[in-house]
């Protein structure tokens, strides 16, 4: 009597499209979403939508992984030298633990969102003193989160668009050795965690992408552990990298023996959005996810939050918005179904898929009106 009911209950999660469930079927480790702590949202005056938001975040078939958008950054974790504060980062970590989500941890050494004391004019660092600062930071933060991270973004954004090192307090004092020091330290603190270098605009072959390949080789030649490269994937709907460009970029890292993950994927569009820009966005998401499914080295995709009002985009790029998968009223973007399609892809011909995507978008538009 209960048998069929239990069977039905077991099947129910798959009755509506679910990103992580399909990602796993497509051979990926996870489809994840970054999130901020509720505390930060309250301060931003966005707490009203939180319950509905939280239900999606905790839907195990939707997201199999999460990342604290901000809470583990240096600004929050070591606001004063030697004073560590894990309050913000712990909120997201405890959601990950309660829900059994994989956690990508982010980010240990980065010149932005850095605590002001590191860059203060009075801080007269020598290579020795700044090295000690990096070692203490990496060690304390990683020890606090030991056993709870699948991966750490050890170094974030160290290059310019032309592939040369960008100006930062770390590079000025230590040169490229700061990267070696950060990875070497991380490998000692937690040997089992995946260590990533994370960046944007490296999702297609370019001088900057070559620069990241150079960093990977530099570490490998010195016998320093690096396991992965994070493609942030902050794309613009009107000019994203193509599917083939992304596959070529992933393969280039794969050839060096490291894995790749999309770590901060979002696709922003000019406001007000229209059918065309939503279709561009859907295609851009499908190509990124499709590249990850097709290229052997790519293991998973994380989007940079999932709900438009919580996105960083409108604060950073005035006039652009709607970069994620849920609109303000919690209706899904057409890109949601396009991603599911890219995850299911492999059997239907490209032409059939395009037709199907068009039909789904038309249905969704009809529903929205
Ligand atoms: C730690 O951070 C939290 C959240 O940002 C803040 O509310 C709290 O006051 C901080 N604790 C200390 C001791 O500074
Ligand atoms: C839709 O938006 C894009 C910019 O995002 C613009 O180039 C295009 O002209 C718009 N199309 C219509 C029909 O308004
Ligand atoms: C879908 O699969 C086909 C056949 O394997 C492939 O050529 C195409 O690039 C894939 N599309 C996406 C978006 O992954």
At residue 18, φ and ψ (nearest 5 deg) are -140, 125
Matching residue, tokens 């080789």: 217
* Predicted model pTM: 0.89
Other beta carbons less than 10 A from residue 59's beta carbon: 16
Q: Is 3's pLDDT higher than 80?
A: no
Q: Going by CA atoms, what residue is nearest to atom 11 of ligand 3?
A: 290
pLDDT at 267: 98
- Specify whether 264 is catalytic: yes
DSSP code, position 165:
B
Q: Catalytic pick from 157, 190, 203, 259?
A: 157
Matching residue, tokens 């505390």: 39
Cβ atoms of 63 and 33 closer than 8 Å: yes
Query: Which of 367 and 232 is assigned the larger pLDDT?
Result: 232
Q: Which domains does the chain have, with CATH numbers?
A: 4-368 (3.20.20.80)
Note the ligand closest to the C-alpha atom of 267: 2
Angle (nearest 5°) at CA 249 between 280 and 281 = 10
Kindly list the distances between the CA atom of residue 355 and the CA atoms of 142, 358, 360, 361, 366, in Å, as whole numbers in the listed order. Answer: 48, 5, 9, 10, 17
Cβ atoms of 47 and 72 closer than 8 Å: no
Note the ligand closest to the C-alpha atom of 281: 2
pLDDT at 5: 47
Pairing of strands 151-156, 102-109: parallel
Give mean pLDDT, residues 189-217.
96
Summarize pLDDT for 105-149 with one digit per residue, the tens: 999 999 999 999 999 977 899 999 999 999 999 999 999 999 999
57: nearest Cα among 28, 96, 3, 10: 96
Q: Going by CA atoms, what residue is nearest to atom 13 of ligand 3?
A: 290
- Specify whether 62 is catalytic: no
Q: Going by CA atoms, what residue is nearest to atom 5 of ligand 3?
A: 346
- φ/ψ region of 177 (left if φ > 0, alpha if ψ in -120 to 50, else beta) reads alpha
């Amino acid at each position: 009597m209960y048998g069929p009911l239990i069977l039905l209950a077991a099947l129910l999660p798959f009755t509506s499209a679910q990103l992580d469930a399909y990602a796993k079927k497509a051979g990926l480790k996870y489809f994840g979403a970054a999130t901020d702590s509720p505390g930060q949202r309250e301060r931003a005056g966005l707490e009203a939508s939180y319950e509905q938001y939280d239900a999606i975040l905790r839907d195990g078939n939707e997201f199999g992984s999460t990342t604290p958008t901000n809470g583990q950054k240096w600004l929050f974790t070591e606001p004063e030298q030697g004073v560590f504060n894990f309050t913000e980062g712990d909120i997201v970590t405890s959601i990950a633990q309660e829900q059994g989500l994989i956690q990508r941890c982010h980010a240990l050494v980065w010149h932005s969102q850095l605590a002001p004391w590191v860059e203060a004019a009075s801080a007269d660092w020598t290579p020795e003193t700044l090295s000690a600062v990096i070692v203490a930071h990496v060690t304390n933060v990683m020890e606090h989160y030991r056993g709870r991270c699948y991966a750490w973004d050890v170094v974030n954004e160290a290059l310019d668009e032309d592939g040369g090192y960008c100006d930062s307090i770390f590079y000025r004092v230590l040169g490229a050795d700061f990267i070696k020091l950060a990875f070497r330290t991380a490998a000692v603190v937690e040997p089992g965690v995946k260590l990533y270098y994370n960046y944007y605009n490296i999702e297609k072959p370019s001088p900057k992408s070559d620069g990241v390949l150079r960093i990977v080789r530099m570490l490998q030649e010195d016998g320093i552990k690096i396991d992965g490269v994070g493609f942030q994937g902050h794309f613009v709907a009107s000019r994203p990298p193509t599917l083939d460009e992304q596959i070529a970029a992933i393969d280039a890292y794969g050839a060096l023996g490291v894995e790749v993950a999309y770590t901060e994927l979002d696709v922003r569009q000019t406001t007000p959005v229209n059918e065309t820009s939503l279709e561009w966005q859907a295609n851009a998401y499908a190509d990124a996810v499709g590249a990850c499914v097709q290229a052997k080295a790519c293991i998973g995709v994380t989007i940079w939050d999932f709900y438009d009002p919580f996105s960083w985009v409108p604060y950073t790029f005035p006039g652009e918005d709607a970069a994620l998968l849920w609109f303000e009223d919690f209706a899904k973007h057409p890109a949601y179904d396009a991603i599911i399609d890219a995850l299911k892809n492999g059997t239907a011909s490209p032409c059939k898929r395009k037709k199907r995507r068009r039909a789904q978008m038309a249905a969704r538009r009809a529903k929205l009106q």
